Amino acid sequence: MKSARLYASGDIRISDEPLPVPAPGETLLSSRSVGLCGSDLHWFSQAGIGDARLGRPLVVGHEFSAVTEAGQLVAVDPAIPCEECDFGRAGHPNLGPAVRFAGHGEEDGALQEWMTWPAHLLHALPVSLSDADGAMLEPLGVALHAVDLGKLKPGMSVGVFGCGPIGLLVLQLARLAGAAALFATEPLAHRMAAAQHFGAQEWDGRQGVDVAFECAGENEAVEDAIRAAKPGVRVVLVGIPEDDRTIFTASTARRKGLTLKLARRMKYTYPRAIELVASGQVDVRSLVTHHFGLEQVEQAFGVAVRREGIKVVVEVAGS
C-alpha cells in the first residue's frame, strides 16, 4: 500500500508499506478523504506542534473518512481515549493525558491507503454524505465543542476572529443557536467573503459581543476577541499559536472580568455533527475548495500552507 510519511519539516515522501493487520477490537479501513488541518500544517512546516516534536517518520492526517471491509463509509474519531483516567470517567475524554491521536506523536494518521482503528470510534454515514463530507465532520466536531464552551443562548451577539474552516463552522453553529448578530475578522478576502455568506458582518473595532471565539491561532486575533468581548462574558480560544505562546493585554481582560476557555479538540460530538450535515443545517461541502490525490500530497500541503482556499482535501482512495 502507499503511504505519505513526514520525515522532517517540508519533507513528505510516498512509499510502499505492508498492509496493516488489525488488533483485537480494531477494523481494517480503506482511507478515503483526508482534510488538512491547521495542526497538520504545524507538523509539515515545523516538524512538530506545541511541545510535541517529530520523533520518527509520521503519517499525519486526522480529519478523515474511510470504508470498512464490509463496505460501510464511516467518519473516524481520531482520538483514542484511555477510558480509565479520572477525566474520561468524568465525561472529558479529550483532556486525558494518555489520549492517543491520529497523526500525532507515535500514532500514524490517515494519509495512507489502509490503516486500522478501534471499531467503537467509527461512525457510519448515511448515503447522502460524500467521502469529503465525512472528513469535514472532525472540524465540525471541534467547532461544536467550542460553541458548547461558549454557552451560547438565543439573542446573543457573537464574534468570530479568524475565518478558516473552524471559524466558518462556528459562525454557522452560532446562527443555528439563535445569535442575533454575527461579527467576524479575517485578513484573507476570500475567507471573509465566506463569513459574510454565512451571515457575518466585518467587525469594525467598535461592536461589543456577548461571546467571542478566537479561531486563528494568532495573537492579533486573541487581542481582537478580548477587545470585542463585553464585560463579564466568555472568550473561547480555539486556534493553535505557531510559537506555542498566547499573548494579550492582561489589563483589558482583567478589567472586563472575562472568562477565558481554551478548547481542546472535542468530545462526543460525532452523532450531532452527522445529523447537522445530513439534515442540511450545516454546510460543510462549500468549504472544501481543493482536492488532491495522495501522490500530490506535497502540492496539497503547499496550497494549504499558503491559505489559498478554505479546506484542502487529499483523496486517498483511487489516487
Taking only the tens place, the pLDDT of each residue in 62-76 is: 999 999 999 999 999
Question: Mean pLDDT over residues 260-288, rounded?
Answer: 95
Q: How many CB atoms sit inside 10 A of residue 278's CB?
A: 15
Residue 284 pLDDT > 60: yes
Supply 293's cell numbers: 490525490
Question: What 3-state DSSP class applies to 211?
Answer: strand
pLDDT band at residue 200 using 50, 70 and 90 as cut-offs: very high
Kindly report the backbone phi and psi dihedral angles of residue 140, in degrees, each rounded to the nearest multiple of 5, phi listed first.
-65, -40
pTM: 0.95
Buried b (16+ CB within 10 A) or exposed e, 18-29: eebeeeeebbbb
Average pLDDT of the residues in 59-64 = 97
Least Cα distance to 254 among 232, 228, 238 occurs for 232
Q: Domains in the chain, please, with CATH?
A: 2-124+284-315 (3.90.180.10), 142-262 (3.40.50.720)
Give per-residue pLDDT as tens, 92-142: 677 667 788 889 988 999 999 999 999 999 999 999 999 999 999 999 999
Q: CB burial class (10 A; 0-12, 13-18, 19+) of residue 303?
A: middle
Roughly what angle, to the nearest 10 degrees, separates helices 165-176 and 189-197?
Answer: 20
H helices of the chain, in order, are: 38-46, 86-89, 131-150, 165-176, 189-197, 219-228, 250-256, 270-278, 297-305
pLDDT for residue 238: 97
